[in-house]
C-alpha cells in the first residue's frame, strides 16, 4: 500500500532485448589523460574523517541468519525511525515476474502471522507514528517514524511480517486490482504520465534489466498465481537479503538485543545473485518521440549514462549536476529560463526523480526535462543545452564555480541526511549497507567530493557528456493548448 504519492509508473511500454555479445559486458573506460589524477582518500584519511565534527554514529553488525543491522543514535528528538530494506527492486526482479517488486510493496500491508489486514498500519498510527513504503530501482523499503518508547513494538511488527506474510488468494486478487488501478490513474490517465522517468531508461539502455517496464506489464500482474507470489516472498524477503536500520533516540546495545530477539530466528533463504546489470558503451546519440493525448504543451527530455558508482568520475558528476542543473544560478536554468525564456523550469538529476545519487546500485542516468511552447523547436532548445555542456567539456571551471558547487552539494547532502525526521539518514545507511557493506561510508562523502579538481570535472564532462552518450526524447502534446 502507498501512503504518499510516489513518482508515476508507466505501463504497456516496450521492453528492450538483452544483448549477449562480448561487447555487452564491457564497462566504458575513461580516456587517457595527462591531467592530475583524482586524489583518493587513504585509509589513514578515512579514519581521520570519522573524527571530524560532522560524523554520523554508526553501529553495524550482521546476524547469523545474514540480516544486516545498522543503528545510528540521535538524541535530538524522542523519536525513532525503523527502516527495513529488501534487496529487490523493480529493475532486478526476474524476467517472468515484472511488476512483482511493486506488487509486494502493497502485499506487505495485507497481514502477517500475528497482525491482521491493515493492523500494521493501525499499530503505527495509534502510537502516533507515520509509515510508508516504496519501490525503487534496486530495493523495496518500508519505514516507520514513531515515538522512541515504541521501538520494541515496531521491531516486533516488522519481524512478524518478514517471518510470515499472509499470502492469500483474497489479498492477491485485491492487490492485483489496486496496482492495475494505480497504473491507470497515475500514468495512463495522467498528462506526462511516466515521462520521462519511465521512458528514458527504456530508450537509453540495452540490458533488459535496466530497460523493461518497471511498473510491470499488467498482463504479467494479472497472470500471477498464489504460488508465484509465495515463492517471490520466500526468496527475496529473507533476512539475508535485507537490512534493518534504526535511527533515533535509542540505546544501541538494547536495540541490537531486540533485533536479535525478534529477527534472529527467521531462517535465511537461497537468494539468487544480482543479475548482470552492465550496459554496453553507447556509441551514438539516440532519438525518440512520443505522443501524449492528454498533454497541452510539448516537452523535451535528455539523459546521459553515468560513470560507475563510487568512481572518481561519479563524484565529479555529482558536482557537474550542481553546476548545470541545481538552483536558479545553474547554467541550464540561466540559459533556458532566465536568458532565453524557452521554459519556466528545467529539472532533473542523478537517479531522478526516484532517489538521489547515493541510493542505487548499477548503471544510472543523469537526466533532465522541461516543458516548452509549441512555437519553440526542440532542436533550438538542444542547441542551448549543447552550448552549456560543451563549455564544460572544453573549458576548466573556475575555482570559485567549483567551490560554489561543493557548497551546494554539501547543503543537499546535509538536507538529505536530516530529512524526514531521520529517514534520510536511514535511507543512506541502508543503501550503503546493502550495496557496499559499508554504512560508515556516510561519513566519508564530503571528503570524497572535496577531492574533485577542475581537471577531473573537465575529463568527466568530456567522457560522459559526449553527444554519443546521450538519449533525447521529444513529447508531442496532442491534448490541445490552453
User: Global pTM?
Assistant: 0.88
Whether 471 is covered by a domain: the verdict is: yes
Please tell me whether residues 260 and 290 are part of one structural domain: no
Please tell me whether residues 447 and 318 are part of one structural domain: yes
Q: Which pLDDT value is given to residue 217?
A: 79
Whether 1 is covered by a domain: the verdict is: no
DSSP 466: -
CATH code for the domain of 249:
3.30.830.10
Whether 317 is covered by a domain: the verdict is: yes
Total residues belonging to the chain: 482
* Residue 299 contacts residue 370 (beta carbons within 8 Å): yes
Of the listed ranges 346-350, 409-413, 418-422, the least confidently predicted one is 418-422
Whether 413 is covered by a domain: the verdict is: yes
Q: Which pLDDT value is given to residue 254?
A: 98
Asked if pLDDT for residue 40 goes beyond 70, the answer is no
* Residue 471 contacts residue 302 (beta carbons within 8 Å): yes
Please tell me whether residues 183 and 324 are part of one structural domain: no
CB atoms within 10 A of CB 168: 16
Whether 290 is covered by a domain: the verdict is: yes
CB atoms within 10 A of CB 195: 22
Please tell me whether residues 297 and 224 are part of one structural domain: no
Rounded mean pLDDT, 126-149 = 96
Whether 54 is covered by a domain: the verdict is: no
Please tell me whether residues 123 and 258 are part of one structural domain: yes
Please tell me whether residues 341 and 208 are part of one structural domain: no
Asked if pLDDT for residue 4 goes beyond 50, the answer is no
Residue 46: pLDDT band (50, 70, 90) is: low
Whether 35 is covered by a domain: the verdict is: no
Domain count, the chain: 2
Across-strand partners of 145?
A: 81, 130
Q: Which domain holds residue 386?
A: 286-477
Q: Final residue of a domain: which of 233, 264, 295?
A: 264
Q: Which pLDDT value is given to residue 21?
A: 29
Residue 51: pLDDT band (50, 70, 90) is: low
DSSP 187: I
Counting Cα atoms < 13 Å in the Cβ hemisphere of 469 gives: 22
Please tell me whether residues 159 and 97 are part of one structural domain: yes
Please tell me whether residues 325 and 198 are part of one structural domain: no
Q: Final residue of a domain: which of 229, 264, 299?
A: 264
Please tell me whether residues 196 and 306 are part of one structural domain: no
Counting Cα atoms < 13 Å in the Cβ hemisphere of 277 gives: 22
Please tell me whether residues 406 and 450 are part of one structural domain: yes
Rounded mean pLDDT, 110-132 = 95
Helix (H, G, I), strand (E, B) or coil at 226: helix
Q: Which pLDDT value is given to residue 38?
A: 54
Residue 420: pLDDT band (50, 70, 90) is: confident
Asked if pLDDT for residue 26 goes beyond 80, the answer is no
Residue 413: pLDDT band (50, 70, 90) is: very high
Please tell me whether residues 241 and 292 are part of one structural domain: no
Between 143 and 214, name the one with better pLDDT: 143
Please tell me whether residues 248 and 336 are part of one structural domain: no
Whether 316 is covered by a domain: the verdict is: yes
Amino acid at each position: 500500500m502507498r501512503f504518499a504519492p510516489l513518482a508515476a509508473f508507466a505501463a504497456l511500454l516496450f521492453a528492450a532485448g538483452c544483448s549477449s555479445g562480448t561487447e555487452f559486458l564491457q564497462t566504458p573506460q575513461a580516456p587517457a589523460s595527462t591531467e592530475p589524477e583524482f586524489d583518493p582518500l587513504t585509509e589513514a584519511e578515512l579514519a581521520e574523517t570519522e573524527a571530524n565534527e560532522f560524523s554520523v554514529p554508526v553501529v553495524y553488525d550482521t546476524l547469523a541468519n545474514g540480516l544486516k543491522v545498522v543503528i545510528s543514535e540521535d538524541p535530538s528528538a524522542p523519536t525513532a525511525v525503523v527502516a527495513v530494506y529488501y534487496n529487490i527492486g523493480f529493475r532486478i526482479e526476474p524476467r517472468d515476474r515484472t511488476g512483482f517488486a511493486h506488487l509486494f510493496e502493497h502485499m506487505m500491508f495485507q497481514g502477517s502471522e500475528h497482525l491482521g489486514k491493515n493492523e500494521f498500519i493501525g499499530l503505527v498510527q495509534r502510537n502516533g507514528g507515520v509509515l510508508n513504503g516504496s519501490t525503487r530501482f534496486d530495493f523495496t523499503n518500508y519505514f516507520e517514524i514513531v515515538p522512541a518508547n515504541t521501538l520494541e513494538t515496531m521491531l516486533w511488527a516488522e519481524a512478524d511480517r518478514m517471518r510470515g506474510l499472509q499470502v492469500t488468494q483474497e489479498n492477491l486478487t485485491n492487490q492485483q486490482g489496486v496496482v492495475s488501478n494505480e497504473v491507470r490513474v497515475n500514468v495512463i490517465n495522467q498528462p506526462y504520465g511516466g515521462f520521462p522517468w519511465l521512458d528514458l531508461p527504456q530508450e537509453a539502455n540495452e540490458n533488459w534489466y535496466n530497460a523493461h517496464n518497471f511498473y510491470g506489464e499488467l498482463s504479467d500482474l494479472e497472470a500471477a498465481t498464489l504460488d508465484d507470489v509465495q515463492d517471490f516472498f520466500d526468496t527475496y524477503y529473507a533476512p539475508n537479503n535485507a537490512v534493518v536500520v534504526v535511527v533515533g533516540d535509542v540505546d544501541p546495545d538494547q536495540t541490537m538485543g531486540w533485533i536479535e530477539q525478534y529477527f534472529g530466528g527467521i531462517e535465511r533463504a537461497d537468494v539468487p545473485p544480482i543479475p548482470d546489470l552492465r550496459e554496453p558503451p553507447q556509441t551514438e546519440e539516440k532519438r525518440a518521440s512520443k505522443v501524449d493525448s492528454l498533454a497541452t504543451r510539448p516537452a523535451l527530455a535528455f539523459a546521459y549514462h553515468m560513470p560507475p558508482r563510487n568512481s572518481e568520475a561519479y563524484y565529479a558528476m555529482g558536482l557537474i549536476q550542481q553546476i548545470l542543473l541545481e538552483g536558479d544560478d545553474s547554467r541550464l536554468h540561466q540559459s533556458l529560463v532566465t536568458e532565453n525564456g524557452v521554459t519556466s523550469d528545467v529539472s532533473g538529476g542523478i537517479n531522478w526523480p526516484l532517489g538521489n545519487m547515493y541510493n542505487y546500485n548499477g548503471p544510472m542516468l543523469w537526466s533532465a526535462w522541461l516543458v516548452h511552447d509549441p512555437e519553440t523547436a526542440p532542436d533550438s532548445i538542444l542547441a542551448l543545452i549543447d552550448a552549456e555542456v560543451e563549455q564544460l567539456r572544453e573549458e576548466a571551471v573556475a575555482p570559485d564555480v567549483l567551490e560554489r558547487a561543493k557548497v551546494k552539494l554539501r547543503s543537499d547532502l546535509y538536507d538529505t541526511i536530516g530529512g524526514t525526521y531521520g529517514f534520510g539518514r536511514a535511507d543512506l545507511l541502508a543503501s550503503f549497507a546493502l550495496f557496499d557493506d559499508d554504512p560508515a561510508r556516510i561519513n566519508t562523502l564530503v571528503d570524497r567530493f572535496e577531492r574533485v579538481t577542475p581537471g577531473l570535472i573537465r575529463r568527466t564532462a568530456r567522457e560522459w557528456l559526449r553527444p554519443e552518450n546521450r538519449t533525447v526524447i521529444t513529447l508531442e502534446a496532442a491534448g490541445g493548448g490552453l
